[in-house]
Amino acid sequence: MGNEQYLQMFVEETNEHLDNMNQQLLKLDSDPADKEAINEIFRSIHTIKGMAGSMQFNKMQQLAHAIEDVLDALRNDKIVASPDLLDLLFQGLDILQSQLSNIESTGEEGDLEFDELLEKLLACLPGAPSNTALKTQSQGKSINQYVDDVVRVANEKGYAAYKIHVTLRSDCLLKSARAYIVFKTLEEFAEIIDSQPSAQDIENERFDRDFTLIILTKEPKEYIYERINTVSEIESVSVEEVTNGESEAVTKEAPKEGIKEDGSTKTPTTNNGQTEQRISKSIRVDIERLDDFMNLASELIITRNRIEAIGLQQDNPDLSEAIEYMSRLTSNLHDLVMKIRMVPVDLVFNRFPRIVRDLSRTTEKKIKLVMSGNDTEIDRSIVEELGDPLIHLIRNAVDHGVELPEERLKKGKPEVGTVGLHAYNDGDNVVIEVSDDGSGIDVQKVAKKAVQRGLATEEQIKEMSDDEIVSFLFLPGFSTSDVVTDISGRGVGLDVVKTKIESLGGTVEVKSEPDNGTTFVIRMPLTLSIIQALLVTVGSEVYAIPLNSIIEILDVEPDEIKSIRREQEVMDSRSTLIPFIRMNIKLNTQSDKQDARKTLTTVVVRKGDKLAGLAVDDLIDQQDIVIKPLGKYLSYIKSISGATILGNGQIAFIFDINHLI
Amino acid sequence: MPKQFVIFDVLNETYAIDSDNVLSIERILPVTRIPYAHDFVAGVMNLRGDIIPVVDLHKRLNVEQIDDTEASRILVLKYKDYVIGIKVDRVSNVKYFDEEEIEDFDKVSLEDKSQYFDYVIYDGDIMVLIPNIPKLLDIPEE
């Protein structure tokens, strides 16, 4: 088998099965008697073993085999799923995962040693361990009870069973189509009771050149041979009669309902779980292609904006109409690309149950993880980046948040602490909350630390709200934990979380109540590449203000602006005083338009709960703009999150409101 | 093995940069000022849809400013993950030099106060300075 070609598929499918195992192991962890979970794990590990074998990843296969043996014993109630056994299985899963990622990056298995784990796994088995000599799936000699039963019944009714091995010519182009014709031909006079690989795999061209079928028919061997030979592009055919108890080469679980007596011509498909069925309705696309696709769509939007600008000058109704239509099409196209790139947050959420389980075992805290909104969708590139910050917050919640069981009981709380992970949509944002019902953040302790470290004076602290004090936690090197543990508290942390989230265009806030717990609220944009923005001019320069941070636009008269201690000007917005920022000064432009004593166009923007008024020269328009990164060289300019190219080719910078005010 | 260099002028001095670091040589494009950037950053340009920062070498080398001419060019450099344009007065040549011709700069002159230059080549009677790119462009070393 040409390994190169199948490697990617192997990696993807094995990953899916490992994910599935992980989920089912967690189910088993909460309910050790969950038979369905055991069966699921068994099926997954069995498939992994088979695939690893056929790809000649012998170490993976060996480990998978040992795990399969343990699962088999579990399935047959010979052993029970104790937490210790589950630890071993989880370890095995980790090793398989790391082997797989090694295969993914290098094409070869890692040289991880896991003899100890193998021994421990085998020690769990009742009696002597089963032979560790390996059987690969492709040559598997296990006798399938189902096929035997069917063959016996058929023989009694005068049918004979044949094993047919078909090899297609190596230059055969449409392998699955050829195989389909073979199936169709056979179905005219026979009943196909099993196929290897499965009918579904054959249909999806997931086979090399040959396949094996077991059929029931009253026709003689020669007739079968001739009929198949009429199909073109076949290299060889072998037909063997199968007598009872000799059926071979069938290892996949077949449906138990048996064969239909009415001789329906429907091909029995092997039941291999829902995943396979889902795959047939979707295709895998390389993420790079999607990125290219999106870039092209983005360029198209820039060009559209440009054509729109030109069209406005032409005063031609036909042209305007065509442009308007094109405008709608490009918007739809872009929405579609975005939707294609959206993936459920579950992609990162699904590893947290395991992490929380491990953490609760190491910290000896009892913790329940409650998740919701796993199907909330967000751009793929954001999801990938969210993993680390979320792990960090969850570790914090377990380590700093939730108390030890004794302590909780003393406080009159349930012994088991709850860590919550909730995702939901809020307008153009996705919100993810990480909460715990632990002791909450000790504001006094934070304040003391902040003063100690010279971040604020005692007087300043007195004027601050609790939320403001708590946000000191996001400063680099700030930790209130008295004990540095393995898990967290080394003082590197929340600042990294904040930086990461902000680099993705999101925000993070913290809310805390003593003894009621802490909640971190992460707010992310749905997508990174295109946003709606208000274009404004300051002097001769054009800037874009993201629409989702704009509260309102006001005309401010000069006498409405007051100044505090001659430093900061303020204005009145909905009866609170907010900072008033003259953008021409802030941006150091050569504009003097705002200095003239007249009404100032002011955009009120929001940063978390805080507002500020930005005085600009003029408003241009609201537009969909494509965000282009400034690049690494200018990454020190925090107030500008990127640039966009306007219809006329001019560059406009996009404000990062979080840093600007 | 001879190395290929792009030779360019800024005011009266001649400089060379290893052609491996030069992505392209562009005619002058509109440069948009960017607030909060270092003073030697002229701004950014729209290079076929990408936003590229442009460094004003006159400012960086602390020499007299002159207006752009027909001969002015922007050299687009690539150094590690950084893509940066530098504005020069003239690109005169692309030339191979043998490694023996490349001399350490401090052997020749101790007057390089800026410390931007590592090597020097004598091309006939012209002294060609080879800058240390991260120092010249103030790229933080990792």
The Cα–Cα gap between A33 and A50 comes to 27
Mean pLDDT confidence for A615-635: 87
A203 and A63, same domain (yes or no)? no
Q: How many CA atoms lie within 13 A of A407 on its CB side?
A: 12
Is A65 a catalytic site residue?
no
Which of the listed residues A343, A359, A380 is the one where a domain comes to its end?
A343
Percentage of chain A surpassing pLDDT 70? 86
Is A204 a catalytic site residue?
no
Q: Extract the tokens encoding B17.
A: 């940069």
Mean pLDDT confidence for A616-632: 87
Residue with tokens 């009929």: A227
Name which of A347-351, A437-441, A465-469, A482-486 the model is least confident about.
A482-486
The Cα–Cα gap between A406 and A425 comes to 37
Q: Extract the tokens encoding A567.
A: 């430093």
Q: Indicate the SS3 state at residue A243.
A: coil
Query: Is B53–A633 a contact, with Cβ atoms under 8 angstroms apart?
Result: yes
A489 and A551, same domain (yes or no)? no
Whether B84 contacts chain A with CB within 8 A: yes
In degrees rounded to 5, what are phi and psi of residue A266?
-70, 130
Q: How many CA atoms lie within 13 A of A598 on its CB side?
A: 7
Contact A301, A530 (CB under 8 A): yes
Query: Is A632–B52 a contact, with Cβ atoms under 8 angstroms apart?
Result: no
Query: Is B49–A643 a contact, with Cβ atoms under 8 angstroms apart?
Result: no
A55 and A106, same domain (yes or no)? yes
Q: Which residue has the higher pLDDT, A154 or A349?
A: A349
User: Closest residue of B to A300, CA-based?
Assistant: B49
Query: Is B53–A302 a contact, with Cβ atoms under 8 angstroms apart?
Result: no
Q: Which residue has the higher pLDDT, B55 or A292?
A: B55
Q: Which residue has the higher pLDDT, A81 or A642?
A: A642
Please state, rounded to an integer, the average pLDDT across all residues of chain A.
Answer: 79
The C-alpha angle A68, A25, A254, rounded to 5 degrees, equals: 50
A39 and A117, same domain (yes or no)? yes
Whether A302 contacts chain B with CB within 8 A: yes
The Cα–Cα gap between A89 and A354 comes to 12
Mean pLDDT confidence for B22-37: 93
CATH number at residue A380: 3.30.565.10
A633 vs B contacts (CB less than 8 Å): 53, 82-84, 137, 139
Q: How many CA atoms lie within 13 A of A615 on its CB side?
A: 27
Which of the listed residues A300, A321, A343 is the one where a domain comes to its end?
A343
A323 and A337, same domain (yes or no)? yes
Please report whether residue A275 resides in a domain. Answer: no
pLDDT at A259: 39
- Catalytic residue of the set A17, A46, A65, A400: A46
Q: Which of A536, A630, A633, A640 to mutate to test the interface with B (most CBs of B within 10 A)?
A: A633
Q: Indicate the SS3 state at residue A224.
A: helix
Q: Which amino acid is at B117?
A: F
A483 and A438, same domain (yes or no)? yes
pLDDT at A477: 66
Domains in chain A: how many in total?
A: 5
Residues 6+ apart with CB under 8 A from A7: A55, A103, A107
Please report whether residue A279 resides in a domain. Answer: no
Smallest CA-to-CA distance from A198 within A218, A216, A181, A176 is with A176
Q: What is the ipTM of this complex?
A: 0.91
Query: Is B32–A634 a contact, with Cβ atoms under 8 angstroms apart?
Result: no
Mean pLDDT confidence for A237-264: 52
pLDDT for residue A12 is more than 70: yes
Smallest CA-to-CA distance from B52 within B88, B20, B83, B89 is with B83
B47 vs A contacts (CB less than 8 Å): none
In this prediction, residue A258 has a pLDDT band, given cuts at 50, 70 and 90, of very low
Containing structural domain, residue A546 = 530-660
The Cα–Cα gap between A167 and A595 comes to 85
Which pLDDT tens digit goes with each residue over A262-302?
Answer: 444 444 444 444 444 444 467 777 878 888 888 888 888 88
Query: Is B34–A645 a contact, with Cβ atoms under 8 angstroms apart?
Result: no
Is A396 a catalytic site residue?
yes
The Cα–Cα gap between A535 and A627 comes to 13
Contacts 24+ apart (CB under 8 A), A475-478: A478/A449, A478/A450, A478/A453
In this prediction, residue B15 has a pLDDT band, given cuts at 50, 70 and 90, of very high
The Cα–Cα gap between A523 and A498 comes to 11
CATH number at residue A301: 1.10.287.560
In this prediction, residue A604 has a pLDDT band, given cuts at 50, 70 and 90, of very high
Which of the listed residues A126, A141, A156 is the one where a domain comes to its end?
A141
CATH number at residue A561: 2.40.50.180
Smallest CA-to-CA distance from B92 within B15, B5, B8 is with B8
Task: Give the highest mean pLDDT range of A192-206, A581-595, A605-619.
Answer: A605-619
Q: Which residue has the higher pLDDT, A584 or A426?
A: A584
Mean pLDDT confidence for A341-355: 87
pLDDT at B75: 95
Please state, rounded to an integer, the average pLDDT across all residues of chain B.
Answer: 88
H/E element holding A240? strand A234-242
A299 vs B contacts (CB less than 8 Å): 49
pLDDT at A5: 60
pLDDT for residue A150 is more than 50: yes
pLDDT for residue A349 is more than 80: yes
DSSP state of A268: P
